[in-house]
Amino acid sequence: MVADASQTSERADSLAIDLVDVTKMYAGRVHALQGVSMQVGRGEIFGLLGPNGAGKSTLVKIMTTIVRPTTATGTILGAPIGHRPTLARIGYLPEHHRFPQYLTGRQCVEFFGAMNLMRRADRKRRAAEMLEVVGMKSWGDRRVGTYSKGMQQRTGLAAALVNDPQLVILDEPTDGVDPVGRREIRDLLIRMRDEGRTVFLNSHLLSEVELVCDRVAIMLKGKVERQGSLYELTHESRRWKITVEGAMPAWVAEFGAPTVERGRASVEFKTEDLAWVQSCIDRLRAEGVMIVGITETRESLEDLFMRLVRDVDGRVAAVGAGNVNTTMRGAR
Amino acid sequence: MKGVDGQALPRLSAADYFVQTWGVLVAAYRELNARKLFWVALVLNGLVIAAMAAVGVDEKGVSVFGFELPIPLVNTTTYPDGKLYKFIFVGLGVGIWLAWLSTILALLSTASMFPDLASGGVDTMLSKPIGRTRLFVTKFISGLLFTALQVTVFSLLAFLVIGIRGGSWEWGLFVVVPLMVVFFSYLFSVQAVVGMITRSPIASVIVTLLFWIFVFLVDAGERFTMVGVISSRLEIAGIEARMEKVEDEERKSGFTKRRDERLETLPNWELAHGIFYAVKTALPKTSETAGLTTRALALTTEMPVDDEEQQVDEQERRRRGLFRSEFVSPRKLEAAINQEYESRNVWWVVGTSLGFVAVMLGVGAWYFRRRDF
């Protein structure tokens, strides 16, 4: 029993989000979530991916008490889902937020500070800080109704962070934001992680998720299809591609069929054994073959995502090898 | 409640509740400030009071902007100590402006409050540590701010006018502030629930106005049947009083016949009145709540009677072929009706109406709690 309690405590300490068997059946028997279990560690950036209708927003809304689950067990920051004081430690930016148009950006951020139980002096100070962080300091005293989409998004981000949250849940945070702003938001997410906060990112932008997330979950049709770090999700597809000038020696054929293009031959190996790759390179060099490229290839997040979507949709389960992650060109 | 580590989880404190509630109220005030209708209503408040201030009364009579008006029996002798201004305040200010026009402006101004709460904009709010019931009720209270601010300004101006022009510093008229807020809450509770369910400001205003008309009709029906009951009782009492003094058997039987006719119809009136009264008990009592101002200011609507009016009463009695004993003059009837209204417990008037508000808020909060957004 003591050991169980200790393990539970350790689990709570290490996990910011621990969801077990979350289901949601909407009226009309729409089964939005079909037993979702998901674990998000403290101090990581976690990306939630999925096509429209996968149930991502429903899951996020259940975590933030906006939608009532049909069944759900689990914890958020060590407390049961929906525990009110714990909600004050969460920052949330919804996808289609609509802030009161009659408030100024500063008043808006301060208002959500008050909703998060912050005392007047604290919320005034934090609102000023956060508006500066999101680049809205000079616009803070103008009404939200006069803001562009990107400015509203930045203000929303400031409102989500005003309470100095331990867990930040962001639904499409870069929606409507220009490329410079996107970069700034990405940097901000990384900074938050470095400060020990947990960031839960719900985004359609796979490239964005791939750039900042430590771990991701891919949801399809109300279920979590895959969950893990980018490495865990894609390492199975890892291959080594060696390209040489001219023709490949005959012995190479036993590991894979070489392809020839523009006078260069290439062959792909699927192996986890780097020593074997090294010995292969050594043998080629010993035979005087000029190696012009050694490339590690693996499925990109987008490829994995598309493959899973196709698989689940019952379409062709085509595995498309992705593009370069690590390249060593001209190795000899 | 305990966390996964077995430790007791923190709870919200009273100070936390206050911070959130104050935050919602401040935001509501800012919302009202941003609405043109709020300022339009405030200016209209000033105009109504200016009209009241334009009325002058001295020992000779009444004047408006210095022009004397031919209104008999109205002067500082019949209406001393600013009583005329109080009548204007209750009749025009409360009876027409606050209880009708200002209320309609308030309903229009707050129409989008609950549809907004029930639509996409609520996501961020619901993710905060505030319960839905509390959010719903706090939002409702913040909606009452419109009326509270308007009526406070109106009362303050009226207080100054009655004090300066009438020479009477009537602190009691500030009772109109809570009364009108309560009055508005009856209708606003309906608007809140309809707005929450339909998410349409227009639908919520229309349904609320229709409901108000229904309440008005029930109130009118109750008053009409009350008139039937009271006039029958007064007539019967008058006839019986007369019968005791009559010796002649033939005349006595004539009185008996008339009394019996009224005794025959009285139960029907009482039944009809009982039904209306029961329905009215369950509904908000808008007219009677506004009428409580009269009670609070100890104003009677009893006007001085002149000879001309007495002659009119006499003509009416003769036209109807009634004995003097059985004739109930309009003034006597009005006085009896007023007495009946004033005999009603304030807690029946306000308490049952607030009971209605509580039921509506309960329905609205229940719906709000159950909805997914």
Confidence category of residue B314, pLDDT binned at 50, 70, 90: confident
Give residue ranges of B with CB < 8 Å to any A CB: 1, 3-6, 9-12, 16, 19-20, 22-23, 26-27, 30-31, 33-35, 119-131, 370, 372-373
Structure tokens at A305: 């995502």
**Does the pLDDT of residue A70 top 50, yes or no?**
yes
For B257-269, what is the mean pLDDT? 92
- The pLDDT of residue A218: 94
Q: What is the pLDDT of residues B149-174, one digit of tens each?
A: 999 999 999 999 889 888 888 888 89
**Does the pLDDT of residue A155 top 80, yes or no?**
yes
Q: What is the pLDDT of residues A157-169, one digit of tens each?
A: 999 999 999 999 9
**B116 backbone φψ class: left, alpha, beta (φ>0; ψ -120 to 50):** alpha
- The pLDDT of residue B297: 75
Q: How far apart are CA B327 and CA B306, in angstroms?
A: 18
For B298-321, what is the mean pLDDT? 70
- The pLDDT of residue B1: 67
Mean pLDDT of chain B: 88
**Does the pLDDT of residue A331 top 70, yes or no?**
no
Among A281-295, B145-159, B297-311, where is mean pLDDT lowest?
A: B297-311
| B208 Cα to chain A: minimum distance (Å) | 25
Residue type, A102: Y
- The pLDDT of residue B76: 73
Structure tokens at A25: 């059946």
Q: How far apart are CA A171 and CA A67, in angstroms?
A: 15
- The pLDDT of residue A318: 34
**Does the pLDDT of residue A320 top 60, yes or no?**
no
Mean pLDDT of chain A: 86
Q: Chain A partners of B20 at a C-beta cutoff of 8 Å?
A: 114-115, 117
Percentage of residues of chain A with pLDDT beyond 70: 91
Q: What is the pLDDT of residues B163-213, one digit of tens each?
A: 988 888 888 889 999 999 999 999 999 999 999 999 999 999 999 999 999
Closest CA to A111 of A63, A175, A163, A171: A163
- The pLDDT of residue A317: 35
Number of cross-chain residue pairs from A and B with Cβ atoms under 8 Å apart: 121
Cβ contact B123–A97 (<8 Å): yes
For B349-355, what is the mean pLDDT? 96
**Residue pair B203/B186 in contact by the 8 Å Cβ criterion:** no
Which residue blocks in chain B are alpha helix, DSSP H? 14-34, 36-54, 83-88, 103-109, 113-118, 123-126, 132-143, 145-166, 176-198, 201-245, 249-282, 286-296, 307-319, 330-343, 346, 352-370
CA nearest to B10 within chain A = A85
**Does the pLDDT of residue A8 top 90, yes or no?**
no
Give the CA distances from residue B214 to residues A223, B39, B51, B207, B324, in Å, rounded to whole numbers and listed in that order: 52, 30, 32, 10, 38
**Does the pLDDT of residue B361 top 80, yes or no?**
yes
Confidence category of residue B325, pLDDT binned at 50, 70, 90: confident
CA atoms within 13 A on the CB side of B77: 6
- The pLDDT of residue B307: 67
**Does the pLDDT of residue B343 top 50, yes or no?**
yes
For B277-305, what is the mean pLDDT? 81
Residues 6+ apart with CB under 8 A from B32: B38, B109, B145, B146, B149
CA nearest to A121 within chain B = B19
**Does the pLDDT of residue A60 top 60, yes or no?**
yes
- The pLDDT of residue A4: 61
Confidence category of residue B305, pLDDT binned at 50, 70, 90: low
Choose the mutation target among A117, A152, A163 for the interface with B, i.e. most B CBs under 10 Å: A117
| B371 Cα to chain A: minimum distance (Å) | 8
**Does the pLDDT of residue B107 top 60, yes or no?**
yes
Whether the CB of A115 is below 8 Å from some CB of chain B: the reply is yes
Q: What are the beta bridge partners of residue A198?
A: A167
Q: In this predicted model, which residue has the larger pLDDT, B71 or A2? A: B71
Q: What is the pLDDT of residues A265-276, one digit of tens each?
A: 998 888 777 788
- The pLDDT of residue A138: 95
Cβ contact B12–A85 (<8 Å): yes
Choose the mutation target among A84, A107, A112, A119 for the interface with B, i.e. most B CBs under 10 Å: A84
Choose the mutation target among A97, A115, A155, A162 for the interface with B, i.e. most B CBs under 10 Å: A115
Q: What is the pLDDT of residues A183-232, one digit of tens each?
A: 988 999 999 999 999 999 998 888 888 889 999 999 999 999 999 998 88
- The pLDDT of residue B299: 66
Cβ contact B3–A75 (<8 Å): yes
Among A9-13, A170-174, B47-51, B194-198, where is mean pLDDT lowest?
A: A9-13
Q: What is the pLDDT of residues B10-54, one digit of tens each?
A: 788 899 999 999 999 999 889 888 888 889 999 999 999 998 888
Confidence category of residue A321, pLDDT binned at 50, 70, 90: very low
| A17 Cα to chain B: minimum distance (Å) | 12
For A32-59, what is the mean pLDDT? 93
ipTM: 0.80
- The pLDDT of residue B355: 97
What's the whole-model pTM score? 0.83
- The pLDDT of residue B186: 97
Choose the mutation target among B30, B124, B368 for the interface with A, i.e. most A CBs under 10 Å: B124
Closest CA to B137 of B349, B353, B363, B370: B363
| A263 Cα to chain B: minimum distance (Å) | 60
CB atoms near residue B315 (< 10 Å): 10
Q: In what order do the strands lie in the sheet with A15-26?
A: A30-41, A15-26, A71-76, A79-80
Confidence category of residue A326, pLDDT binned at 50, 70, 90: very low
